[in-house]
């Protein structure tokens, strides 16, 4: 192989795991303009009969979210869910201490359920383990999933929602390891509270799946000890352990930033080891998987003070080309680690560190919109254990790294496949041979590419199409091989027919 050429080898028998559809999730928090002015804005010309933004919902449908986590985030830890149900005129206006904002409670659990149904996604609800009690958590499960005939399920019926919702996924608090969290707990306290909440919630509805709070990020002094302690106390009662992380390029070191897939993979490997350790220590037959239920790029906009206003503009990060390439790598890692990662939620879905920004009458799709859209559209069936040979790129933080970051999927039921390629080199265009060693699909269906020469180029309301995907023609099956060129700073998706 010449040292400027790359080869990607695919074998449909060499798989990592089945891809969990829940890795294409999102996160909606009562923060800034995510809910109010994002999802819900009765005054917008785009509002439907429920006050939900039809233009936003159309864009979210393109992203094909399989699950959305709600209502927070740090907001969750001070939230009384009873404030957000029942007649809207009776709902209290409250101070939200997490974001120093005013919460009107005009949007709550039932409104969220309606929204989730309209965009055809599955809800993932959080219970407040900060100021909330284990009894509040249990009551919420009864309110949401209980059959009519008892107090909280009848309360739901009296609010106009007779049928139990059957919500399956429930988070046991949010980032409880963080001193910034309302009602922050130390690891033993959290572990015990989560265990007791889990018991009550399961007694309410044995069919639910529970997500335990893991470390907020890898920089926490308690990482990964927190994860071990929480798991050892709750292992057999829970189904997933959460992790959160936000990527940054604070020193403007683009080559290192574009190699952050190493960090994401390392984080998952450490926690995979922790899960295995605890399972072995407890001699358990049960499996717990990982839920990366907050992930994204976030470092440019740190405005987190709502100054006691409604729907303030908080952390409305503007994303550029390099951010989109990091998001694409993140999703490559999700596929490569699909044996242990079963849920992931892009944080957040509208306005607040989000793929979509809105004004009252318009929206813009940010650069990160597109990689997410292609993964959620094409990554189906099994993640393949890809073998890649590629030229190297130098980085300050990680040393030499391969210029290409790659993942691939193949659906044995349909024969459909997809390959996702990030070229992280700032300068080198790379000729690539994609070689199907077994299970060659019948034809290339389409090739899409996002690229540019300016890593800082972003889509704005004034210029919304700076970074949009291009369709690339002429890539064909030549025997088992397809040859194409991936430009520097690019993300390429090849989708195949079965
Ligand atoms: O997504 C924004 C905030 O980041 C969330 O509220 C919190 O969980 C995390 O620290």
* d(CA 336, ligand 1 centre) in Å: 25
* d(CA 73, ligand 1 centre) in Å: 5
pLDDT at 1: 43
Query: 393 has which bridge partners?
Result: 401
* d(CA 174, ligand 1 centre) in Å: 8
The atom of ligand 1 lying closest to the CA of 98 is 6
Q: What is the pLDDT of residues 91-113, one digit of tens each?
A: 999 999 999 999 999 999 999 99
Residue 233 CB partners (closer than 8 Å, separation 6+): 188, 191, 192, 194, 195
- Per DSSP, helices labelled H in 18-125 are 54-63, 109-118
pLDDT at 346: 98
CA distances (Å), 170 to each of 21, 219, 401, in order?
17, 26, 38
pLDDT digit string (tens) for the chain, length 498 residues:
446 899 999 999 999 999 999 999 999 999 999 999 999 999 999 999 999 999 999 999 999 999 999 999 999 999 999 999 999 999 999 999 999 999 999 999 999 999 999 999 999 999 999 999 999 999 999 999 999 999 999 999 999 999 999 999 999 999 999 999 999 999 999 999 999 999 999 999 999 999 999 999 999 999 999 999 999 999 999 999 999 999 999 999 999 999 999 999 999 999 999 999 999 999 999 999 999 999 999 999 999 999 999 999 999 999 999 999 999 999 999 999 999 999 999 999 999 999 999 999 999 999 999 999 999 999 999 999 999 999 999 999 999 999 999 999 999 999 999 999 999 999 999 999 999 999 999 999 999 999 999 999 999 999 999 999 999 999 988 899 999 999 999 999 999 999
| Residue matched to tokens 């590629």 | 390
Q: List the catalytic residue out of 175, 196, 316, 317.
A: 175
* Alpha carbons within 13 A on the beta-carbon side of 259: 18
pTM for this prediction: 0.97
Cβ of residue 242 lying under 6 Å from some atom of ligand 1: no
Cβ(147)–Cβ(165) below 8 Å: no
How far apart (Å, rounded) are the C-alpha atoms in residues 75 and 127? 11
Query: 15 has which bridge partners?
Result: 384
How far apart (Å, rounded) are the C-alpha atoms in residues 397 and 229? 31
Cβ of residue 293 lying under 6 Å from some atom of ligand 1: no
Q: What is the pLDDT of residues 472-484, one digit of tens each?
A: 999 988 899 999 9
Q: What is the pLDDT of residues 441-498, one digit of tens each?
A: 999 999 999 999 999 999 999 999 999 999 999 998 889 999 999 999 999 999 999 9
Expressed in angstroms, the distance from the first to the final Cα of the chain is: 29
The atom of ligand 1 lying closest to the CA of 27 is 1
- Per DSSP, helices labelled H in 205-292 are 225-234, 254-257, 261-281
Cβ of residue 177 lying under 6 Å from some atom of ligand 1: no
pLDDT at 2: 46
pLDDT at 3: 65
Residue 377 CB partners (closer than 8 Å, separation 6+): 64
């Amino acid at each position: 192989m010449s040292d400027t050429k790359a080869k990607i080898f695919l074998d449909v028998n060499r798989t990592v795991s089945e891809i969990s559809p829940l890795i294409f999730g999102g996160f909606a928090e009562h923060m800034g303009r995510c809910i109010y002015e994002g999802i819900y804005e009765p005054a917008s010309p785009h509002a439907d009969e429920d006050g939900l933004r039809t233009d936003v919902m159309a864009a979210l449908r393109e992203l094909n979210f399989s699950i959305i986590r709600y209502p927070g985030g740090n907001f969750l830890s001070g939230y009384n869910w009873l404030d957000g149900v029942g007649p809207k005129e009776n709902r209290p206006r409250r101070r939200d201490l997490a974001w120093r904002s005013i919460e009107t409670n005009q949007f709550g659990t039932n409104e969220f359920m309606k929204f989730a149904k309209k965009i055809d996604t599955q809800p993932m609800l959080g219970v407040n383990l900060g100021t909330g009690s284990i009894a509040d958590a249990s009551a919420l499960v009864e309110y949401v999933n209980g059959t009519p005939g008892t107090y909280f399920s009848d309360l739901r019926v009296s609010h106009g929602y007779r049928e139990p919702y059957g919500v399956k996924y429930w988070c046991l608090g949010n980032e409880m390891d963080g001193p910034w969290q309302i009602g922050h707990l130390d690891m033993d306290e959290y572990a015990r509270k989560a265990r007791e909440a889990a018991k009550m919630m399961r007694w309410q509805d044995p069919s639910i799946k529970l997500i335990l709070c893991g470390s907020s990020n890898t920089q926490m002094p308690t990482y990964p000890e927190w994860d071990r302690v929480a798991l050892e106390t709750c292992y057999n009662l829970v189904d997933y352990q959460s992790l959160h992380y936000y990527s940054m390029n604070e020193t403007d070191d683009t080559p290192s930033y574009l190699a952050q897939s190493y960090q994401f993979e390392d984080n998952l490997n450490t926690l995979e080891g922790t899960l295995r350790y605890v399972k072995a220590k407890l001699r358990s037959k049960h499996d717990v998987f990982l839920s990366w239920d907050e992930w994204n790029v976030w470092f440019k906009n740190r405005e987190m003070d709502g100054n006691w206003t409604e729907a303030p503009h908080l952390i409305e990060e503007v994303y550029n080309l390099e951010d989109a390439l990091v998001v694409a790598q993140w999703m490559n890692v999700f596929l490569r680690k699909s044996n242990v990662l079963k849920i992931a939620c892009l944080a957040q879905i509208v306005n607040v560190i989000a793929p979509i920004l809105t004004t009252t009458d318009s929206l813009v799709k940010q650069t990160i919109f597109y990689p997410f859209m292609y993964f959620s559209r094409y990554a189906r069936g099994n993640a393949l254990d890809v073998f890649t040979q590629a030229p190297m790129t130098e980085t300050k933080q990680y040393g030499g790294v391969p210029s290409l970051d790659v993942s691939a999927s193949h659906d044995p039921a349909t024969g459909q496949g997809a390959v996702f390629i990030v070229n992280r080199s700032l300068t080198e265009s790379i000729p690539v041979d994609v070689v199907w060693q077994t299970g060659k699909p019948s034809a290339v269906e389409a090739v899409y590419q996002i690229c540019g020469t300016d890593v800082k180029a972003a889509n704005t309301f004034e210029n919304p199409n700076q970074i949009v995907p291009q369709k690339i023609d002429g890539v064909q099956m030549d025997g088992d091989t397809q040859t194409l060129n991936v430009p520097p700073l690019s993300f390429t998706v090849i989708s195949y027919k079965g």
